[in-house]
């Protein structure tokens, strides 16, 4: 069976709404995401199992999450498969939200700082995990920064709506910016 690559869908302001991966039989594994008006995820549904890709000899014993599996379907070579290490972007997201909700903030600077923050988190995750010893760590780092870039593109393309319609009007409504007060 040919390798079927995963794909994601995003709403107009860059929140992921769904992600689809495929198991070794080509069955879709759908995850869904729900975000609130503050651009925060409020719920997520995930399939009961995850697709695992790799390459091994037909007589090899492969261990995934401390469980062994025999008879692996060849797809992406092991040395090119990014390790499954999570790198939460929450601190960068929270900083981005705070920047948007600061009266008279510069949206482009908020978005640029968001990207820089996610890239720094990728670097930190690589240093603080086994990735600094894993030869695939550099590939993982590129992958992590690519994900960060996708989030950045999402806020650049769609963040204007939240910024202009909600964040700035509300942030500046309570702003005590008048000089005589």
In the chain, domain spans:
1-50, 53-77, 82-174
pLDDT recorded at residue 19 = 80
Closest CA to 87 of 137, 44, 52: 137
Locate tokens 């495929």: which residue?
22
Q: Which residue has the higher pLDDT, 8 or 82?
A: 8
The whole model's pTM is what?
Answer: 0.53
Q: How far, in Å, CA of 144 to CA of 2, rounded?
A: 25
Cβ-contact 138, 108 below 8 angstroms: no
CB count within 10 Å of CB 51 equals: 15
Q: How far, in Å, CA of 47 to CA of 28, rounded?
A: 9
1 pLDDT more than 50: no
pLDDT digits (tens, 9 = 90+) for 125-168: 888 776 666 666 777 788 888 888 888 998 998 888 889 998 99
pLDDT digits (tens, 9 = 90+) for 66-118: 443 434 333 444 444 455 557 788 899 999 999 999 999 999 999 999 999 99
pLDDT bin (cut points 50, 70, 90) of residue 13 is confident
CB count within 10 Å of CB 19 equals: 17
| Phi, psi angles (nearest 5°) of residue 155 | -75, -30
């Amino acid at each position: 069976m040919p390798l079927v690559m995963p794909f994601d869908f995003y709403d107009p302001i860059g929140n992921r709404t769904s992600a689809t991966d495929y198991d070794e039989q080509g069955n879709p594994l759908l995850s869904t995401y729900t975000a609130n008006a503050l651009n925060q995820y409020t719920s997520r549904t995930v399939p009961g199992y995850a697709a695992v890709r790799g390459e091994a000899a037909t007589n090899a014993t492969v261990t995934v999450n401390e469980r062994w599996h025999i008879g692996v379907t060849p797809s992406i070579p092991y040395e090119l498969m990014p390790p499954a290490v999570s790198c939460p972007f929450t601190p960068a997201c929270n900083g981005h939200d705070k920047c948007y909700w600061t009266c008279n903030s510069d949206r482009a600077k908020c978005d640029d700082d968001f990207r820089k923050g996610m890239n720094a988190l990728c670097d930190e995750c690589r240093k603080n995990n086994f990735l600094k010893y894993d030869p695939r760590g550099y590939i993982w780092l590129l992958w992590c920064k690519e994900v960060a870039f996708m989030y950045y593109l999402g806020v650049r393309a769609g963040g204007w709506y939240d910024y202009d319609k909600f964040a700035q009007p509300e942030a500046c409504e309570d702003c005590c910016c008048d000089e005589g007060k």
